[in-house]
Structure 1
Amino acid sequence: MIVSSSRKITQILRAELDKLVTLPLIWRTLMGTFIVNLVLAAAFTSVGLQGAAGTQSILNIGLASMGYLQAGFIILGIIATCSEYTGGQIRTTLATIPWRGIQLSMKHLALAIITVPAAFIIAASGVLYTFMMMRDTAAWIETDTMIKALAGATGYLTLTTLLSAAIGALIRRTTPALVVLLGYYFIVSPLTRDFLPSIKKYFPDTAGYYMYMPLSSDEINVLTPMQGTGISMLWTLIFVTAAIVFYRKRDA
C-alpha cells in the first residue's frame, strides 16, 4: 500500500511537471521577467553610478528591482493554476486524476520545483550585473551576506508564486486573479502601510522584504529574515490550504 501510494504521488507529480514544462506561457513569463529584471537592474545601476544612490551597497542596488520583479512571479503562479480552466482541460485532468487534494498539492510542488532555480537565476542576474558595473565604486558586502540575501530573494519569489497559484485556484479565472493580486501588491498594500504602520510588517509582501534585504543598524521595529520567512510561509500555507479545501468541495 505504501509503495502504491508513493508511486501514485510520484506519477501525479511527474504529470504536473510535464504540464507546466510544456506550457509555453510559463517560459514566456520567465523569459520576460528575466529581461525586465535586467533592464531594471541597468536603470538602478545607472542611478547608482551617477551618485544618486548615495553609499548603497551593490546588494541593495542589485535587489532594488524586487518590488517590480515579483509581478512576473505573480503572473507565473496564476498561469500555472488558471490555464487549465481557460480551455476546459481541468475536466480531463480530474477524470484522469480524481484525487483532487493530491493533484493540486503536486501542482504546487511542481511549480516550486520550476520556480526555485528560475527565481535564483533571475534575482542573481540583477546582482551580478550591478557587481560588474559598480565593483569599483559602490560599497561591497560580505559573500555570506550576499548568499543569504539571494536565498531570501529566491524564497520570497517562490512563496509569492505559490500564494498566487493558490489565489488562482480559488478564483479559477486569470484576469480577475491578476486584478486582485496586482491590485493588492502594487496599490492596496503600499497605501495600507501608510495608514496601518504598526501591522505593515505582517503583510505578506512586507514580511517578504525582510527575507532578502539587508537592514541598516538604525532601523527599528523590523523583522529578522527568519521571522519574515515564517510569516510569508504562514500566509502561503493558509491560501494553499484554502485552495485545496475548496478545490475538493466544488465541481470543476
Structure 2
Amino acid sequence: MPLTQIQIIQSLGEALSWFEKELEWGVAPGELNHLTGRIGELYAAMITRGQMATTTNQRGYDVVSAEGERISVKTVTTSVQARFNTNTLELADRIMVLRINVDDDEGVSVETLLDIGRADFDGHLRRLSNGSIDFPIASRRKSTRPLDAQSIEAAESFGGYTVQQFESGSIGVLRHGNRVDVAKPVLRELAAQLGVDLLNGSGRPRNTRQLGAAIIKAIGSRHQ
C-alpha cells in the first residue's frame, strides 16, 4: 500500500531520530549505511511528492516521483564518491545524490548534491579502470560568512558573557566583549549556572543552536 505524504514525513523524522541516537552511542556516520540509504529515499520521496519503489531492492531506481519519474537515489555521509551500477543506470529517469551532514552547530541535515535528469548525468561521472562509474563528491564547505557580518536577532548577557543568536541561527559567545572561538563549552557552563537542561525534549543532547537559544531565553526571563 502506498504511503501518504504524512506517513513519508513521519518515517523520515523517525529515521533521522534513530540516526542521531546511533551517533550518540558512538557509531561513526560511515557505518550507518542501513539508515543513510533509507533516509535518502524517504527524503527524495518527500520533496518529489512521490513514493518508494514498490519492490524491495528495485533494480535501477528507488523512488517514483508524483510525475512518474523513476529516481535513483544515492546517499552518503563521509564518502568521497557515490558508486553507480552501469547495468541498471539506464532504468532511471532522474538521479539524486544526497549527503547527510553531521554538525555540532546545526545538528543532522540532508543536503542535495545533485538532482539531474538521466540524459544529463554522464558529464558528471568519473569512469574507473575496473569498469565502474561514480560521482565524485567534494568535501563539505561551510559558509565563510563571518558572524560579525550577520545581523543579531537576539542577545543576552550573564556573568561576563554575552550570548548572541544571529540571522542564520548560529550562536556566538563574547567574553568581556571578545569573541570566544568555541562556544559549546561556555554554553555548557552557563547552562549549569542557569539551570538550563543540556538535553532537548526528546532526551538527546542539545546542539549549539538549541542550547544557545535556550540560554538566551533563560537569561531574558531573569530580566523580566
> TM-score, normalised to structure 2's length?
0.28
TM-score, normalised via structure 1 length: 0.26
Quick check: which one's strand share is greater? Answer: 2
RCO higher in structure (CA 8 A, sep ≥6)? 1
